[in-house]
Amino acid sequence: MVNQEEYIASGILELYAAGALSPAEQQEVEQVAAASPEVRYALDEALVAMEGYARAHAVTPNPALKNRIIQQIEDQQLEREAMAAEVRPLYGEQESSPYKWMFAASITLFLLSGVLSFYFYSRWQTAENRLAQAEAQEQLLAQNFNTVSQRVAQQERLVRLLRDENYRPVKLQGVEAHPEANAIVYWNPSQQNVFIDQGQLPAPPAGRQYQLWALLDGKPIDAGMLQQDAQANLQQMKQVGAAQAFAITLEPEGGSVNPTMEQLYVLGEVQS
């Protein structure tokens, strides 16, 4: 603790009053004075002395100076009130607006991107579905076209056979047990080519297949198996050089060496 009497006697208070101290020293004096009434009193005495000295030099300034000063202060005050009322919020807005704007923009973009993502996702899904449908349709069309063109080829072949004088149509008629069955064989004896038009044959049971036979002098000659799925088509069979009749029997899958006569379905003689 500072010794008060010594402090007062040091002359620092007078220096303070005369404005001879640095700001740090001034602050120190103020602190000591605040803590000690004696120092405070001595300091005030010194201050009063210097105030008196200052007053002794008093000079009345130009009377116009007062108006200038009051005017400036009032203008400043009005300006400040105006700033507080208008410019401040504007400033605040301007200061934070890039961030606010960016924040708002980022949220907007986020929401927008979400909406757009969903929109484009559903569009993409729709497009995928339509593409799959289109591909399936195209496959179907291609299949249909294949079928049609195959049929056309068959028909052309049939037309060719029918027009070809070398081919003899042999009509196979259903036997007693299968009166509704029929088929046509087109045979070219010189080229030995045989085609079969299956006509009306009941669907064979599982594990069974129709077999064509050529009959020559009472002996059956294997002319090949009938394809089940090519019922409507003209099917080329094994070559046959000479025949008096053709017959179709139902045989186990893969065919038999000799026809099962109980299973004879159709039979037709070659017209000479």
* 150, two tokens: 């195959």
| Interacting residues with another protein between 212 and 231 (CB under 8 A) | none
Residue 11 interacts with another protein (CB under 8 A): yes or no? yes
- Minimum Å distance from CB 50 to another protein? 7
- Pick the closer one to another protein by CB: 60 or 271: 60
DSSP state of 261: G
- Pick the closer one to another protein by CB: 78 or 177: 78
Residue 102 interacts with another protein (CB under 8 A): yes or no? no
Residue 16 and residue 26 in contact, taking contact as beta carbons nearer than 8 Å: yes
b/e for 138-169, b at 16 or more Cβ within 10 A?
eeeeeeeeeeeeeeeebeeebeebeeeeebee
| Interacting residues with another protein between 29 and 88 (CB under 8 A) | 30, 34, 44-62, 65-66, 68-70, 72-74, 76-77
Supply the Cα-derived Rg of the chain in whole angstroms: 62
* 209, two tokens: 């297949």
Distance separating alpha carbons of residues 226 and 202, to the nearest angstrom: 13
Instruction: Count the neighbouring beta carbons within 10 Å of the beta carbon of residue 222.
Output: 18
- Minimum Å distance from CB 35 to another protein? 12
Residue 44 and residue 14 in contact, taking contact as beta carbons nearer than 8 Å: no
- Minimum Å distance from CB 23 to another protein? 10
- Pick the closer one to another protein by CB: 60 or 190: 60
**Where on the phi/psi map is residue 187: left (φ > 0), alpha (ψ -120 to 50), or beta?**
beta
Residue 261 interacts with another protein (CB under 8 A): yes or no? no
Out of 2, 15, 216, 221, the only residue in the binding site for another protein (CB under 8 A) is: 15
- Pick the closer one to another protein by CB: 5 or 74: 74
Residue 19 interacts with another protein (CB under 8 A): yes or no? yes
Amino acid at 79: E
Residue 269 interacts with another protein (CB under 8 A): yes or no? no
- Pick the closer one to another protein by CB: 69 or 242: 69
- Pick the closer one to another protein by CB: 72 or 126: 72
- Minimum Å distance from CB 27 to another protein? 9
- Minimum Å distance from CB 75 to another protein? 10
By CB under 8 A, how many residues form the interface with another protein? 38
- Pick the closer one to another protein by CB: 13 or 215: 13
Distance separating alpha carbons of residues 160 and 148, to the nearest angstrom: 18
Residue 163 interacts with another protein (CB under 8 A): yes or no? no
Task: Scan for tokens 């087109």, then name that residue.
Answer: 186
- Minimum Å distance from CB 91 to another protein? 20
Binding site residues, another protein, CB under 8 A: 11, 14-15, 17-20, 30, 34, 44-62, 65-66, 68-70, 72-74, 76-77
